[in-house]
Amino acid sequence: MFNAPPPFTIDSHQLYLEIPQFQVQEQAHSTPGAYQRAWINQLCLQAFLPWFREEIDSRAKVYPNTAALPSFWEVVNGTAITFDTSRLVLIPTLAMDGDELRVQQEWVDIPEWVADYYIAVQVNPDDGWIKIFGYTTHKILKTTGVYDIGDRTYSLESEDLIQDMNVLWVTRQLNYPEALRAEIAPLAAIPQIQAENLLERLGNPDVKFPRLAVPFPLWGILIAHGGWRKKLYELRQGLPQWSIPQWLQTRVANLAQQWGWEKREFVMVPAGMRSAEAVQGLSRQLIIAGNIYELRIFPSGAEKQIWRFELRSATPGSQIPVGLKLRLLTEDLQAFENNEDTAISPVDILYLEVILEPGEGLVWETEPVAEDYDQEILRF
């Protein structure tokens, strides 16, 4: 299963994969370096993931989702893939000497980003192939890797990598007990005003290396937040900062469409004798525990500051099961009064109504977590 396609000649341990002929998706990035990083990561992912799905795990997928990748590649090198209950990170390089694996600190020390395995990949765009020249675990990388304070990376020499990918699959199939992850310290939360100041500063594309411009604890907690990471990406592209009311008046922004949002008209049936009325709102599909749901957001009643969040089953006749939760958090992920609705029995709808000031932001989430979930800030 590890044979390389012709015309490659390889040794018996290292895996070569052909880069498929595909159209590289044009993505906006703030610097030539970020553009190249996105291009190399795309080539690597396009070669690796189809093979991985065919040979190892058909359900393997990009973490957290494909739409989020540009916001990662704008600032870091690497692509995370989840499979089974594990995660790996592909670390591509154009260097042909293959003398080391160099992993940026974000993938090692941000708790939400940590992986079990780190895969070293040489990318040869001219000849159309990638080469897996070794892998390691988080524990090995964290405890024996060399940390470079200058570029904030952990590195291992090639001779310290496990070069034969078969070892990884065999140890997993045998359920060999192995500690894959090292203990790491959590990152301290930062207040919203500090995050806003950091975003304003680092969102300037003249800051060529934003990941090195502030101390790592601040940087790490900033981009661990999916909403702040996406906003950083938008700021560095010079994209306008849209709000939900603006989307409803004009059209949903392109990036929001990529995240799944669309504008829809809902028919509301008010209490009492009044007739039904139509209201413009936003909708997106969610998959939670294998079932499809619809998340709706729309203004509620005559008061423009009141917004209603609804979660419904997208399957006719189906209800929301016991225990499922819809939750809202402040932009800096803090709970507030009446911010959660839980199904204590099978119900048709979970809903929350909130009063919001113009410019205020909220983050939604569900429990269990929705498939491909990545935090986003909805601005009102």
> 242 pLDDT band (50/70/90 cuts)?
confident
Nearest to 236 by CA among 27, 24, 81: 27
Query: What's the confidence (pLDDT) of residue 24?
Result: 64
DSSP 19: P
Strand ranges (DSSP E) for the chain? 15-18, 61-63, 79-83, 86-93, 100-104, 117-124, 129-137, 146-148, 153-157, 262-268, 277-288, 291-299, 306-313, 325-330, 340-342, 349-355, 361-367, 378-379
Which range of 42-51, 167-176, 251-260 scores highest in mean pLDDT? It is: 42-51
Least confident of 33-42, 134-143, 174-183: 174-183
Q: What is the pLDDT of residues 308-362, one digit of tens each?
A: 999 999 999 899 999 999 999 999 999 999 999 999 999 999 999 999 999 999 9
Least confident of 97-106, 195-204, 369-378: 97-106
Mean predicted confidence (pLDDT) in 71-87: 96
Residue 93 backbone phi and psi in degrees, to 5: -145, 150
Whether the per-residue pLDDT at 372 is higher than 70: the answer is: yes
Residue 138 backbone phi and psi in degrees, to 5: -60, -40
Crossing angle for the helix pair 226-237 and 216-224, to the nearest 10 degrees? 100
SS3 at position 284:
strand
Cα–Cα distance for residue pair 25/241, rounded to 1 Å: 23
Query: What's the confidence (pLDDT) of residue 270?
Result: 62
Q: Give pTM, 2 decimals.
A: 0.91
Query: What's the confidence (pLDDT) of residue 9?
Result: 42
The two three-digit tokens of residue 230, written as one number = 């996406």
Whether the per-residue pLDDT at 256 is higher than 90: the answer is: no
SS3 at position 97:
coil
Crossing angle for the helix pair 226-237 and 192-202, to the nearest 10 degrees? 30
Cα–Cα distance for residue pair 252/263, rounded to 1 Å: 7
Whole-angstrom distance between the N-terminal and C-terminal Cα of the chain?
A: 52
> 113 pLDDT band (50/70/90 cuts)?
very high
Of residues 371 and 242, more confidence is placed in 371
Mean predicted confidence (pLDDT) in 40-60: 94
Query: What's the confidence (pLDDT) of residue 6?
Result: 39
> 99 pLDDT band (50/70/90 cuts)?
confident
Write out the H or E segment, with its range, that includes residue 227: helix 226-237
Query: What's the confidence (pLDDT) of residue 273?
Result: 53
Least confident of 165-169, 279-283, 313-317: 165-169
Q: What is the pLDDT of residues 168-190, one digit of tens each?
A: 887 777 776 678 999 999 999 99
Computed over every residue of the chain, the mean pLDDT equals: 90
H helices of 74-116, in order, are: 106-109
SS3 at position 137:
strand
Write out the H or E segment, with its range, that includes residue 141: helix 138-144
Mean predicted confidence (pLDDT) in 367-373: 96
Q: What is the pLDDT of residues 188-236, one digit of tens each?
A: 999 999 999 999 999 999 999 999 999 999 999 999 999 999 999 999 9
Kindly state the percentage of the chain with pLDDT values over 90.
Answer: 73
SS3 at position 98:
coil
